[in-house]
Structure 1
Amino acid sequence: MLIPLQPRGRSVTIGSVLFLILVAFFVLHSRNADDVVNYVLKRPASECVQQPHTEPLPPPSSAETKDGSWEFVPARDAEDYGLSQEQCRIAFPKLFVEIEKSVAARKDKPITAKELNSKKVGEGMVRAVVHQGELYVVDFNYNPVTYSRGRATLSAIYRALRAVPNRHDLPSAEFIFMTEDYAPSWPGPIFAYSKRDSEENVWLMPDFAYWSWPEVNVGPYWDIRRRIVAVDDGIAIDGKLQRGIDFQRKKKQLFWRGTTATAPELRGQLMKMTEKKSWASVHAIDWNNEDHLRKEVISMEDHCRYMFLMHTEGRSFSGRGKYLQNCRSVMVAHKLEWREIHHGALVASGPEANFVEVERDFSDLEDKMKYLIDHPEVAERIAQNSVHTFRDRYLTPAAEACYWRELIAQYASVCDFEPKVYSDIRAKKLRGLPFESWSLTPADFPY
């Protein structure tokens, strides 16, 4: 039996009307979100800070984990976004140091809804809710410079949640994060890509480039890791087999390219201490001079052709750091003030050293460089330690996903409220957009 179809014009008209109604629904409920009670106190509030939440995810299902026999194998597990909580703890015992510090700071002072609402979400900030393992975007305050960072960060959270089968067991949490290099002065808790030790209100989160960093032509994180391995070890890239470069055949120089504008005193001192040194290839970049850029700028993976790579902070952290630590090269860094999620695994001395630390004024840089060049076996051991620690473990996609789930669970454990997803549950009015819907909205969507 044939069912008569409606005329095409009528279908389009009905569809258009329904679409306009849906858009109006989201706009109205979003604008009225501040006029309703969006939170429910946990029962009882005091219990949420007695012990950190330690079981947001189900136990490992793999037979390999029985009796504690599971072991992280980089070739198999490095890109597994869905490791269980137990597996995450086994694989990355030093990864959650900063989360534990933040939890300890709030042990006797639970985070309240009033505290979270103490200041309006400003430019470059995003407010989100994780409820029963689903991600909702409540507010996205547009900033043209950092817009892609916000999208990347939300995408990474969504990926980490979706990777585990029982994500609904994660506790609900509402949080605000910053898309700038650091968090502003803020009375309540805020997530940020980097922090100083004194900033107890800041909770460290993975930076945006674990997703991608197209603005500096680095691209997806999984892809740059593959290209770095091709330089170091030799693999097929785009159908062409590349030969790896042995550590002792790398250029025996300290390499750095960048702008001094973001940290003129610090980076200016680096330029001064390396000027005309045979062991250094350190040049400032003039981003407005195309001829200069063609001469001085090299791809991120080609940094790995140098034996020594200089890492300096900028306005806060420097996003290139994790790329340098993926190389089988020696990362040299001044004493760092800005923390990142993987810094708990840094070791500056002894047989397990995985980088070389120098003074912030670089006064000991030349002596340490000469020692490393004269003792190539020491340099190679440090470089190999870096690969084992960072490329194969703490800077893997698996580690990033583990960190996101642990951050959400532990943050929720010191909140005394449960966020509401609906501003009006009877009318099914959502406070924010599900991530899947939000990801399809234009940049200037009216919240």
Structure 2
Amino acid sequence: MNPPFDLVIRSRRAVLPDGERPAAVAVRDGRIAAIDDVDTAPAAAATVDLGDVALLPGLVDTHVHVNEPGRTEWEGFATATRAAAAGGVTTIVDMPLNSVPPTTEPSALAVKREAAAGRCFVDVGFWGGAVPGNVSRLRGLHERGVFGFKCFTSDSGVPEFPPLNEEGLDAAFTEIASFGGLVIVHAEDPGGLSEPLDGGYPAFLASRPASAERAAVEQVVRLAERTGVRAHILHLSAADCLEPLAEARARGLPITAETCPHYLTLSAEDVPGPDDTAFKCCPPIRDAGNREELWRGLTDGVISCVVSDHSPCTPALKRGDFATAWGGISSLQLGLPAVWTAARARGHGLEAVVRWMAEGPAALAGLGSRKGGIAVGNDADLVAFAADDSFTVDPAALRHRHPVTPYAGRALSGVVRTTWLRGEIVGQTPRGGLLHA
């Protein structure tokens, strides 16, 4: 007689929806079929005993720029998803830029799905894009399974994905609200931005002030209240934005926000000099005081997700100075240990990290019934995480295409030992699926 389960994983530190405790997680046909006491684990074809190594749900990263097709020399589905798996991320949602064509119409979504098919080591979903002139195509993208629509209030950095002015935002928000969709916004007011006066980091930081971010967030709040759309603020860097977001939530508006590992773990004071453009991103990494305010916003629930905004490019585009280099940080593989290192230092446990990096993003994308938690019926996306081990970041060990990172040489806590996708160890064969909303 065959055992009732395909796999049982035992851990003294399983992070479950009700907290961290010893448990045995049983898997059948790629899904979590039972959760039992660690000492009375049921029979299975295979059993893994992690001991004191923590068992986490696979992380969900809803902010990843894969860049394929069109700019595959920047990244690609194979390299990005290998990096994701190495970092304990089992689901990503790909941004509609910087690929060419951008995912702004149904035919472009089909091209992107074709590029991804058979190349993904974790599960992949797709955002659509809202740009000038494509309002009539948003519903078609929604019907074909995108998870929502990204737009910019300021220059995106690539010409094929222009920003929306207030009239364009209003039209897109109204249309997306009409079919119950989600809009995700890069919120920086272009009127508050300027060109850096020189190539150093202080001038770059001054060119993208917190006031520009807050003005755009307040604009999104006004438009969301008027149109009724569900809205999400991307990569929040300015703690000044927490006040209008908290007020909007208190009024019952369906507005959420995310931040990123680099805003929670790095600071402007960490940037060594004008050549260290690995630290450049938009909006920028701000000062240490601002960082601590972001942690308070996360703790208070004003910020609900921590996701990577993995935005790589070729090394040549990242060279130069802060006025000219590409603005993007590649941290898909390092987000979990980076956040855990900083979270533990501030008294947070693994259950909080799981809430921010698995449960929250899964809920944002509407995947909470399948992903983001160790619960019966969910996909058996699981991570063995040695939370008490440490390592020094070696760029040569990173799996994304170009090993450029501001974390180079940093000591981080927590090592991903094994990643399972639907009950199977992520290895050399791409088994990731393409998700529909």
TM-score w.r.t. length of structure 2: 0.27
Ranked by relative contact order (alpha carbons within 8 Å, sequence separation 6 or more), the top structure is 1
**Structure number, greater radius of gyration:** 1
The structure where helix makes up a greater share of residues is 1
The structure where strand makes up a greater share of residues is 2
